[in-house]
Amino acid sequence: MVYRLGFADSRRQARQLVRHGHIILNGRKTDIPSCAVKVEDVIALRERSTNTEYYKMVAEQIGDKIVPQWLSLDPETLSGRVLAPPSRSDIDLTLNEKAIVEYYSR
């Protein structure tokens, strides 16, 4: 979610931001990158992180980022909300689902 909201330029960078404690989920600090989020959860950058150079850079560039339809972003507060779970068409990876099912059905 951190990557999809535009807080990071890559998935690896997003994981690092979460692991270092710069992200809050529903008002509580989280440091688990694989944390499951639900509809109506709020993801934001932590207030203590607002004085870093990275925060200033993200605040300048957040308007150029494209956010998926199933997420909403508030560029003023640098927070986002999950509006709905993503559908199969929202995922940008090309997967051969039939091959995965065949592999695991052995």
CA 55 to chain centroid, in Å, comes to 15
The mean pLDDT of 55-76, rounded to a whole number, is 88
| CB-based contact 68:86 (threshold 8 Å) | yes
Write the pLDDT tens digit of every residue in 1-47. Answer: 899 999 998 999 999 999 999 999 999 999 999 999 999 999 998 88
Q: Dihedral angle at the C-alpha atoms of 75, 81, 85, 91, nearest 10 degrees?
A: 20
pLDDT value at residue 89:
78
| Stretch (H or E) spanning 14 | helix 11-19
Region 11-104: CATH code: 3.10.290.10
**Residue 80 confidence class, pLDDT cut points 50, 70, 90:** very high
